[in-house]
Chains A and B, each alone.
Chain A
Amino acid sequence: MEPSLLDLAGTLIAAILTLFVFSYLLGDNALYRFAEHLFVGAAVGYAMVVAFHAIIGSKLLMPLAEALSEENWARVLLLGFSLLMGLLLLTKPIKGISWLGSLSVAFLVGVGAALTVGGAVLGTLLPQIDATTNVSTYATRYGPALGAVSGVIVLIGTTGVLIHFHFGAREAGPVGRLRAGLVRTWGGLGRWFILIAFAAILAATFMSRLSLLAGRIQFLVDSARGYLGG
């Protein structure tokens, strides 16, 4: 299928804007700023269109109209309440009645926090604790030797990281000294685990950005080949 003229123009513009963005490697310049502003403007405009069509129109106004026409008052009440909460958010910039918007914010924060905490505990915390403590799982997956070593490392590292974040006053006596020594040694080992984890995240992020660069270069190469007939 031959690409349309609009597709060709779009590809050409995208390639040029990509070069504009790459010009930032040489320093801040107007071409980069032009591409940046154009991207931000296009993204905001697109997001507004999507928000209206995907949310306000399709999920609020049109269902509300249908509910009214169908005289489904329960649905009308639900959608009307949603509309009211949304409108109250618009009062936040108004000084005298900004407190009205706090109702919507409180509702959003409350629901969001409940979902997030519940999901984190059930979906992340408990399963991860179980995976950390259940060393036999590693033996099953990676064999007895490697699994046991992996399980011990994970257990020591996880505990060390938790100990490293211990904050408390130094206590006298044998118990205090024992705890201080534990924090110093095991916590210090946990700090190394943190450092290794951060290093892994940094390396992975670099790999991700390098993939983005390669993708952009491939786009430019493919575009050039498309225009040049290669």
Chain B
Amino acid sequence: MIYCPKCGTANRDGSRFCNECGEELVIQTHIECPRCGALNPIQNVLCIQCSGRLLPFVPPSPETGAPPPIKGLSLPTKNPAGEQDEELDAAAPEPEDETPAWLRELGASLSAGGESEEPDSPEDAGEVPDWLRDLRASLPQELEEQAESAEEDEALPDWLTALEPVAGKAMDEAQTAEGEPGDEPLGSESQEDEIPGWLSRLVPSAAAARGLEPEPATSGKETPGWLTRLVPGEAEVGTEPTSTAAEMEEGEGSERPDEPAPEAPAEIEGDKIPDWLADPSAADGEVEAETELPDLEIDEREIPGRLATLQPTDEEAEVEAEPSHLEIDEGEIPDWLATLQPVDEETEAGAEPLDLEIEGGEIPDWLADIRATGGAADAEAELQDLEVEEGELPDWVAALRPVDAGAESEPAPAAIEPGAEQFPDRIAEFEPPSVDLPPAETLQEADMEPPGQKRAYKLPDEVEAALGPSVPAWLAELQVQAPEAAAAIFEEAAVDGELPEWLVRSESGPDEALASAEIPGWLLALKPPELREGTELPAPEVREWSEETGLLAGIPGTLPVEMLIAQPRAIITAESTDLAMEDSPPARLFSEIVGRSPDATLKKIASPKADVLPQTARWIIYAILIIAVSLPIIMGKPFVSRTIEPTAATVEMHRVIESLDSLDPVLVAFDYDPTGSGEMDPIASALIGHLMDRGAKLVVVSLLPAGPATAQSLLAELAAGRPDYAQGYGERYANLGYLPGQAAAVRLLGLSLETALPRDFYGTPLSELPVMQGLDSTRAFSLIVELAASQDTLRWWIEQAGTPFAIPLGTGASASVIPVARPYYETEARQLVGLVGGVPDAVTYEALVNDQGSATSSSAARLDSQLAGQLLFVLVILAGNVAYFSRRGTRRER
């Protein structure tokens, strides 16, 4: 249906003009689907039939600029250059799928610190936003000191540095050995405040260790934590590469667990240089390792903090720690991994083993190996067993905890049994797949390669498949490398683009790298606009805060009631919608899918014939109906001669008229116009003809403007065949014309006929009409015959004339009025003395008048025409229902 925009009338589909008001409907009333051709309402965006897009997508204009890049969940992200590279490398077969999303995000967050260069000062604007500094200024003095010390750890946020419990310390010590000025120690209390709770539990011993050793020296910057774990054995970060290289010659022995670890050089104190760092340099004593060593000296910025957390206790080898003992079945540890752990363990001969009740296969072996290596070198405190229920904590995380606990020199804290709610869902739900390790020989063959050779070590396919997304391929490769091989692979992977970009060394400057990487988009949205830099948003003037109300009103410098970030103005000015869209990869993917042009994505198929068939069927039905209705009329006689039984109401109507005496006045209300004459004329002819036959005086009125003309033509036709009426206008019958006023006029007619209708249809005063003599109101009439085409006029006559004045009222009504007229006939007092409804009743009434028991040929043909149409209608209804139910059954079967 098409609804007229002017009057709201529902028009048939395909209409060009409104049926009610004639308003042109040429406005685009439908949108043709480019895919299936179906017509859709103009307000639709998607096709109602095929769900194809109807409107072409308008891509965003270039002025709007590129959408903001997807940023990680954690604070720092990549620099813009890195993001561009990421976009360029998107087409390349970069194995993004190999790295879990959360791992990439976490890595991206940490890589910002790793990729950035060391800033000139701790207060560099690129790493600590001003607004955050302002917030910190409001903190107590202790916290401020802690924040300052945290700023000195330039690359990583403080809470991330806390994840490097021991590795960071080792690197600090290394820097101390290099003679760099030490910074203020990072207080353990402040660290506890800054570390998320769930993370602090992962490193319970780290904070305690810092508490015991309040001088962590300088922050570790040059020793990559994740590389330290690749070093098989104790290492010593020397200031001279030669010494390291000399020690690396002995690194071969470190791959044999049974051999004792070489001692660290005497000139380097044990608490400054991790022994395990000295070991690979001694073990791998190759000359070329010296040249590769600078490559291995990767800044801390390149160290993922999450990896740094995995090397907890190596640098504390000098402490008389009892090495942990890991109960791992044989065969779970690859040989190449087994070679990485013995030095620490044997260095600390008196260390007590760490008992871990961990089922085989729950921990990736390479992680278990790392843990064992580090944990063995840790503090001598008693280590306790971990009984972590399965599912509460990822096993690999649980496996890390006792290692950290072993770093404590004091009694270990109570057993931690964190619930799942204490960890982020992604960690709590993460369960690394069980690893079915291949035979040890398989890996040993890989280890048989020369140590310095650059080749890609690959785990067997079944191992990689078992590791799944938990261990990226690049990480798995690094695990099997000797340090120099790992460095080579690192460089090669960086060149080939296989390495995640956050591991690639940044070429940009520190400010550029940190400027956009410090604050993710969602956090930037919360930043007060007045504190934003000029490149982001026009920063309004920053006015000094002053209290406006209360006792401190007018005093500047007071603390605001709410923090700046909590004030709604910042939220209002933020482009939260765009950020929300672009921060979510699914949302961006959805945007891309929706934004595709329909021509590019949808095939143009042939327009279905769905609209043609119903139209054809409709035409067929029309044709059959016209033929069925026309045929009896054309033939002029009924198909079957039959006797028609009149209804009781019709008989009553006939009886009432038959009981009239000659010259009894009868008021005939001609309440139909030419639009209803096709149905009402037979009824009116039957009733008025009968009245004329009875010699009644007929006075005709009409409540419709066009009614009197219709009545006059019929009266003239009927009077022509009756001599008493042929020349008797005004004598035997009169047409008083249009009676305006509807119900009120009918009521008035019962009071004063001349007041209501002073003149007849031709303008003749009623007093001049002989037929009107003695008729001053409707109460003077013996009968009122209402020829009703609508129920309204019938009700007016019943309510305003027949019932109030107790005037006998009969009706010849349209078939559509019968349901309304019938109850008035059923009343005890007979509000309707008779009822002739529709053409069938008219035909039967005619038969009653003729006393022949059957209608005339023309009336019978008309009745046959009516019955044929009704029969066809019944058949169409049945066929439609059968088709509907059969189709519905077919759909159910589908």
Residues of chain A having any CB pair with chain B under 8 Å: 1, 25-28, 33, 36-37, 40, 43, 46-47, 50-51, 53-55, 58-59, 63, 111-112, 115-116, 119-120, 122-124, 127-128, 130-131, 134, 137, 197, 200-201, 204-208, 210-219, 221
Contacts and interface: CB of A to CB of B under 8 A. Distances in A.
A208 B17 contact: no
Nearest to B673: A43
Contact of B815 (A50, A111, A207): A207
B758 A58 contact: yes
A111 B709 CA distance: 29
Interface of B: 12, 14-17, 22, 619, 622, 625-626, 629-630, 633-634, 676-679, 681-682, 705-706, 708-709, 720, 737-738, 740, 742-744, 747, 758-759, 763, 795-796, 798-800, 802-804, 814-819, 823-824, 826-829, 831, 838-839, 862, 865-866, 869-870, 873
B759 A211 contact: no
B681 A215 contact: yes
B805 to A, nearest CB: 11
Contacts of B869: 210, 213-214
8 contacts: A115-B743, A119-B803, A124-B795, A131-B827, A137-B828, A211-B838, A213-B869, A214-B629
B678 A25 contact: no
Given A205-B815, A214-B633, A47 B804 contact: no
A26 B621 CA distance: 12
Nearest to B765: A58
Interface SS, A side: helix
A145 to B, nearest CB: 17
A30 B136 CA distance: 80
B678 A122 contact: no
A196 B854 CA distance: 32
B862 A218 contact: yes
B633 A217 contact: yes
Nearest to B761: A54
Nearest to A210: B869
A210 B622 contact: no
A46 B709 CA distance: 10
B823 A131 contact: yes
Contact of B828 (A119, A130, A216): A130
Contacts of B826: 131, 137
A50 B738 contact: yes
Contact of A200 (B796, B819, B823): B819
B800 A204 contact: no
B800 A197 contact: no
Contacts of A28: 12, 14-17
Contacts of A46: 705-706, 709
Given A28-B14, A119-B743, A215-B681, 9 more contacts: A28-B17, A36-B22, A59-B740, A119-B804, A124-B798, A131-B827, A204-B818, A214-B862, A218-B865
B772 to A, nearest CB: 15
B679 A50 contact: no
A43 B705 CA distance: 9
A26 B22 contact: no
Interface SS, B side: helix
B317 to A, nearest CB: 77
Contacts of A128: 823, 827
Contact of A122 (B629, B799, B862): B799
Nearest to B828: A137
B740 A112 contact: no
B862 A115 contact: no
B232 to A, nearest CB: 78
Contacts of B828: 130-131, 134, 137
Nearest to B763: A58
B819 A54 contact: no
B679 A111 contact: no
A123 B682 CA distance: 29
A36 B799 CA distance: 35
A215 B677 contact: yes
B738 to A, nearest CB: 4
Contacts of B823: 128, 131
A58 B766 CA distance: 12
Given A124-B795, A214-B678, A215-B681, A37 B629 contact: no
A92 to B, nearest CB: 19
A127 B827 contact: yes
A113 to B, nearest CB: 10
Contacts of B799: 119-120, 122-124
* 4 nearest CB pairs, A to B: A215-B678, A123-B799, A119-B799, A211-B679
A43 B706 contact: yes
B477 to A, nearest CB: 70
Contacts of B626: 213, 217
B596 to A, nearest CB: 37
A211 B827 contact: no
Contacts of B818: 204
Contacts of A1: 720
Contacts of B827: 127-128, 130-131
A212 B706 CA distance: 17
A197 to B, nearest CB: 7
A112 B740 CA distance: 13
A168 B137 CA distance: 63
A25 B622 contact: yes
Contact of B800 (A123, A127, A200, A205): A123
A47 B16 contact: no
A217 B743 contact: no
Contacts of B629: 210, 213-214, 217
A46 B17 CA distance: 24
B156 to A, nearest CB: 64
Contacts of A211: 678-679, 814-815, 838-839, 866
A27 B14 contact: yes
Nearest to B675: A212
A210 B870 contact: yes
Contacts of A116: 743
A208 B816 contact: yes
B705 A47 contact: yes
B705 A112 contact: no
Contacts of B708: 50
Nearest to B872: A210
